[in-house]
C-alpha cells in the first residue's frame, strides 16, 4: 500500500480538472449513470460520514478499472484524522458492488471507515477492544459501512454468502465491515 497524497490541492490537480470531487455535485446524471451500468460497468456512490463528502463513479468498465475514479474513491475514503490518502484494493470495490448488485441496491453507501493510518489505528485500538492492531484498514483492504434504509443483518448475510473476504457485523454500532483478506466472519 502506498500513500498517494497528504495534500488535497495536489490530489485535485493530479486529476487534471476532472469533475469527480465535490461535496454534493454528482459525477453524472442518473440517466447517464444507468446507461453505463447497462453496459456491464460497475459503479458505486459513497458518502463519507466524517467529511460529509460525496463521490460516485464507474470504477470498472469494458474489462478494466478506471484509475481516475479509483483515485477519487481513495481520496474520499482517506484517513480524515491524519488527512492521509492511500491506494485502496480495487477488489474491495468489487466486493461492495457485488453486495449491492446481489441485493438490487442502487443507493449511496455511507462510509464509517476506509483507509486508516497506523497512527489513527493505534489511537482507535487504544480506545476500543474492537479495533485490530494489525487492521486491514491500514493496508487499504477494508471498509466499514452502512446503507441507510437497508437491514444490517441482510447486508451481513449477503456479504458472507459471497465469500469474497472477511465480514464483521456490528449491529450495536450500526455498520458492517468487509475486507479483502481471507474468508472469515465475526
Q: Report the CATH number at residue 7.
A: 3.30.1380
In this prediction, residues 132-159 reach a mean pLDDT of: 96
When pLDDT is cut at 50, 70 and 90, the band that residue 34 belongs to is low
Q: Which residues pair with 64 in a beta bridge?
A: 61
Quick check: 22 pLDDT over 80? no
Structure-block grid coordinates of residue 37: 451500468
Residue 135 phi/psi, 5-degree rounding, is -60, 140
Q: What burial letters (b/e) apply to 1-17, b meaning 16+ CB within 10 Å?
A: eeebbeeeeebeeeeee
Rounded to a whole number, what is the distance in angstroms from the first to the last CA of the chain? 25
Number of domains in the chain: 1
Quick check: 173 pLDDT over 50? yes
In this prediction, residues 40-63 reach a mean pLDDT of: 96
Cα gap 17→70, rounded to integer Å:
15
User: What residue numbers bound the domain in which 77 lies?
Assistant: 3-185
Residues in the chain: 186
Longest dimension (CA), the chain: 46
Residues near 159 by Cβ (< 8 Å), separated by ≥ 6?
95, 99, 167, 176, 178
Quick check: 103 pLDDT over 60? yes
Quick check: 2 pLDDT over 90? no
In this prediction, residues 56-66 reach a mean pLDDT of: 97
* Exposed / middle / buried, residue 21 (Cβ in 10 Å: 0-12, 13-18, 19+): middle
Amino acid at each position: 500500500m502506498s500513500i498517494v497524497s497528504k495534500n488535497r490541492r495536489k490530489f485535485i490537480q493530479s486529476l487534471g480538472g476532472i469533475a469527480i470531487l465535490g461535496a454534493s455535485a454528482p459525477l453524472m446524471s442518473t440517466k447517464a449513470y444507468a446507461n453505463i451500468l447497462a453496459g456491464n460497468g460497475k459503479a458505486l456512490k459513497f458518502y463519507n460520514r466524517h467529511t460529509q463528502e460525496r463521490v460516485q463513479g464507474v470504477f470498472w468498465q469494458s474489462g478494466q478499472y478506471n484509475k481516475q475514479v479509483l483515485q477519487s474513491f481513495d481520496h474520499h475514503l482517506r484517513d480524515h484524522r491524519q488527512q492521509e490518502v492511500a491506494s485502496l484494493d480495487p477488489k474491495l470495490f468489487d466486493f461492495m458492488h457485488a453486495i449491492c448488485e446481489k441485493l438490487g441496491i442502487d443507493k449511496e453507501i455511507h462510509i464509517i471507515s476506509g483507509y486508516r493510518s497506523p497512527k489513527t489505528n493505534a489511537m482507535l485500538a487504544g480506545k476500543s477492544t474492537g479495533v485490530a492492531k494489525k487492521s486491514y484498514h491500514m493496508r487499504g483492504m477494508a471498509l466499514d459501512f452502512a446503507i441507510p434504509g437497508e437491514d444490517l443483518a441482510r447486508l451481513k448475510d449477503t456479504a458472507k454468502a459471497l465469500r469474497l473476504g472477511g465480514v464483521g457485523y456490528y449491529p450495536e454500532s450500526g455498520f458492517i465491515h468487509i475486507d479483502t483478506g481471507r474468508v472469515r466472519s465475526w
